[in-house]
Each structure stands twice: as structure tokens, then as C-alpha cells.
């Protein structure tokens, strides 16, 4: 992927071109198929993966055996950094949502890269902090807001990070099922269905095959009870 296309919020979008080129030079390029697991929860391994041209889901297994969706990761994102930094087993499973290109960086090379590029190391720390902050905010949201508000917040966060502009609005073409949206919102699937219907009826969103379109960004942010810019 051309360097100019990395999204600003992703790891590859955050680091300087020189550092990015150094890291990509030691990374091993791999093609993965849709639904292929690239990292598995509990595995004792410590390499990191850069999502080159990719879309992936991060899930964890719940006590009843179901998979709970934690996050979406896209081209430019870094996954597996916790195990690379502290040598612990994988904390989640990462699965490709479509045919993708990823780059594997072994732990020793990743750690050497961070030592030689302290600004990039600070960006990794920032990403870890952002993800922790997001997880903490979700816990607060679950206790404080209705399902409709939580859904609006999740949709806005995904759209702000990964949406693309079109004549119809801000398109989220991440393949999310209603069950997966429900786990992101910490709600029952039937409740998410009703909230989606309410947002659709108000003209705030539109839904199609494997995509959601934010037709009224201000309206969605109002429902989400958000202030200012993302």
C-alpha cells in the first residue's frame, strides 16, 4: 500500500516515513484468506502483525464458548504488540474479515526497531493507552447509557476511524453482523435491532448489504451524546 494512504490513527499512519520504511523492510509479507485466523487467543507466540491491506476483527472467547467482538482493525494497524512487549500469551483472536495482506515482524526485530526508533516506541505506547482508554470508556458507557446511545457511539467511533465519504454519507463497509454489534455495545441482539431500526427510521443511518451509511453525522453524534469533533 502506498504510504500516503495510511489512516492517521493507525500505527503506520502515526510514525515517520523513515521509521515506517525500516519496519516494513524487516517484515515478512503474507497473504491471508477471508476468515483466516492470524493471531489466536492463548497462543504462546510473540511476533507482531502489521495489517498492510487488511480488515480484521478482534474477538475473545466468553465463558459460554461464544466469541465476543472487541474491536475492528484495518490497514495500517498493529496487532499482537502486548505479547511482543511482555512475552505473555495472546489475549485475543484476530481474524481476517476479507482476503488481506499482512506483514509479520518477529519479536526480536520489533524490539530492536523500537530501541532504534524511540518516537515509534512512544507511538506504540500511545496506541496501547488509547485502546485501554477505549475499553474503560465502554465499561462506563455500559453502566450509564441506553442501548441506543451505546450503539450510536460505537457506530460513530468506527465511522470516524474507518469510514469513507460518499455521496450518500459516511460509509462503514466493515462486515459486522447484528450479533457482533451487540457484543460491541454490551447489549442483547434484539435491543440492537430495535436501536438500528430507530436510527434508520429517523433518517440518521441507512443499511445495506454488509454496510451501514451514516446519512446524518450531526444527528448520530447528538444521539451518541458527544460534544465537539472526534
Mean pLDDT score across all residues of the chain: 87
Give the separation between CA 181 and CA 178, rounded to whole angstroms: 5
What is the grid cell recorded at 200?
A: 434508520
pLDDT score of 76:
93
Q: Is 30 exposed, middle or buried (0-12, 13-18, 19+ CB in 10 A)?
A: middle
pLDDT tens profile 144-200: 788 999 899 889 888 877 778 888 888 887 777 788 888 778 788 999 999 999 999
pLDDT score of 35:
87
| Beta carbons within 8 Å of 187's beta carbon, 6+ residues apart | 147, 150, 151, 195
* Nearest alpha-carbon partner for 176 in 211, 202, 147: 211
Torsion of CA 38, 43, 46, 48, to 10 degrees: 20
pLDDT score of 227:
62
Residue 142: pLDDT band (50, 70, 90) is: low
What is the grid cell recorded at 57?
A: 476483527
pLDDT score of 19:
96
Q: 184: alpha, beta or left, given left = phi > 0 and alpha = psi -120 to 50?
A: alpha
| pTM given for the model | 0.73
Query: What is the share, in percent, of the chain residues with pLDDT greater than 70?
Result: 93
Residue 230: pLDDT band (50, 70, 90) is: very low
pLDDT score of 191:
94
* Nearest alpha-carbon partner for 44 in 104, 84, 103: 84
Query: What is the share, in percent, of the chain residues with pLDDT greater than 90?
Result: 50
List the domains of the chain with CATH numbers. 3-140 (2.60.120.10), 146-223 (1.10.10.10)
pLDDT tens profile 190-218: 999 999 999 999 999 998 777 889 999 99
Has residue 2 got a pLDDT over 50? no
pLDDT score of 154:
86
Residue 55 in 3-state DSSP?
strand
Give the separation between CA 84 and CA 40, rounded to whole angstroms: 14
- Residue range 137-141: average pLDDT? 69
CB 42 within 8 A of CB 90: yes
pLDDT score of 229:
38
pLDDT tens profile 79-135: 999 999 999 999 999 999 888 999 999 999 999 999 999 999 999 999 988 888 877
Amino acid at each position: 500500500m502506498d504510504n500516503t494512504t495510511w489512516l492517521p490513527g493507525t500505527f503506520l499512519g502515526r510514525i515517520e516515513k523513515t521509521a515506517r520504511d525500516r519496519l516494513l523492510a524487516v517484515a515478512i509479507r503474507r497473504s491471508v484468506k477471508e476468515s483466516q485466523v492470524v493471531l489466536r487467543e492463548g497462543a504462546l507466540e510473540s511476533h507482531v502483525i502489521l495489517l498492510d491491506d487488511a480488515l480484521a476483527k478482534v474477538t475473545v472467547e466468553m465463558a459460554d464458548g461464544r466469541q465476543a467482538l472487541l474491536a475492528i482493525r484495518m490497514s495500517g494497524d498493529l496487532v499482537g504488540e502486548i505479547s511482543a512487549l511482555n512475552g505473555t500469551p495472546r489475549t485475543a483472536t484476530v481474524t481476517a474479515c476479507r482476503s488481506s495482506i499482512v506483514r509479520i515482524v518477529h519479536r526480536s526485530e520489533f524490539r530492536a526497531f523500537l530501541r532504534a526508533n524511540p518516537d515509534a516506541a512512544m507511538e506504540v505506547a500511545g496506541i496501547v493507552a488509547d485502546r485501554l482508554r477505549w475499553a474503560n470508556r465502554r465499561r462506563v458507557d455500559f453502566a450509564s447509557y441506553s442501548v441506543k446511545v451505546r450503539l450510536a457511539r460505537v457506530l460513530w467511533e468506527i465511522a470516524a476511524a474507518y469510514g469513507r465519504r460518499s455521496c450518500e454519507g459516511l460509509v462503514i463497509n466493515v462486515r459486522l453482523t447484528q450479533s457482533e454489534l451487540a457484543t460491541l455495545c454490551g447489549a442483547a441482539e434484539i435491543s440492537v435491532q430495535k436501536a438500528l431500526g430507530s436510527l434508520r427510521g429517523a433518517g440518521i443511518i441507512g443499511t445495506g448489504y454488509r454496510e451501514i451509511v451514516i446519512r446524518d453525522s450531526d444527528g448520530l453524534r447528538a444521539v451518541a451524546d458527544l460534544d465537539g469533533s472526534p
